[in-house]
Structure 1
């Protein structure tokens, strides 16, 4: 894969310049051993001294698929795909990455099948936003290491906006609030719990609709902790409907946590375009809302 940049300010080394473009230390090591670097159309090594006005081009080595990862040809709803990103609309029940429970048919396995059919150059998916198995909605995938590095930088700078929809049990009194409570693994189970020893976690929510036994909220994450939305609302005494792990009630036939990754917004670091993606709520969610409104 070939990428080019113009040198617009004085720099001390090629390594520093490439670091400014988002190429990590690991990526730079790959370039030293397997990649190609051009300056103004001529092949150079990493000791070259750059000048303002130079054009730097790098050719990154292909990322070859892991032969240990199985290929799945099951369908996958892809909302967007280009050289750098894939946005997948994940159904509830599909694992994102292979694990002990499923090693052959996860989102990663299905992407491998798609990319194999396309004869894609890079075949290693880098998951930027992971969802729990029974959470539906948008999953952001980087198609190469540089994209993954840049996406991580965007998230660290808090310039990625991820919004969810959740249906929590009971009646929330505040129309809008920020849950600011650190989370840590529960030593007695698989859940997360509010703990002073945990990592900082912030979940902001806005009430969208109130029902007799539940509340529909729009949620924005300001941190990305494991089970953050589920654990935070459970800590308030309002676990998500259908969330067995956090003791949420089973209402309206919903047998999974009522959580949906609805929107994703970020500025593409390669093109500077504003990227916006939206996932409509699935059928089981619509059925639950219809029942709660009765």
Structure 2
């Protein structure tokens, strides 16, 4: 699935989730469908997003859509078995916390815009990629903090879990949720800490077997080749304990792929705008980067 398609999916899923939020907080369950349809028409998404059913639970403060279909620019169809919005803030506009979960998000490989990617995935043994994605966030306007987490899992491939904590964040006012304006107002936002974890579920061994066969090598020989190339790939980093740790942990992960985690924990919050001006070689030390395999 291309980045453009993913962007379209994110917009459509976000819009329908917000539509569900509008419905579940303002009307009874028997009227929520009409509220969502009105919202989609207002956003001109009625021809982009369709769904089989929508149900709200006022006690659990949740709304769920089943059998979603989202049409991309090229006519490709992304389907979502279940989209649920739960644990959201009903007292504030915009909500200061919420969780959105999509289960069974998939697109037929034949419809992917890149035939090379489609062919490679099929040769790796993937015919159907159904992803489960959960996104949660929590904001505190008084403390000016913003925390977000995302979990993305594709069976028989792997899963990603990301966490991000920001400080000095200016939250949008009620009725002014505009992404461009919001980013422009947050030039002083600071990175407190972040992490990214990948758990392999057979993707790396499949890739190793595939490329080893392409080069006429054994899988073990190809892994040794990859391992030997890690120091070269990290040579832009100045020699330091961090650089040596990154190299060693990546080598271990290639040999025995299980879990690879990257942690960012600077001694003090670092301004996001500053990151674009810092030489790449000094970023790991500035950000307190640590890598852990398995």
* TM-score after normalising by structure 1: 0.23
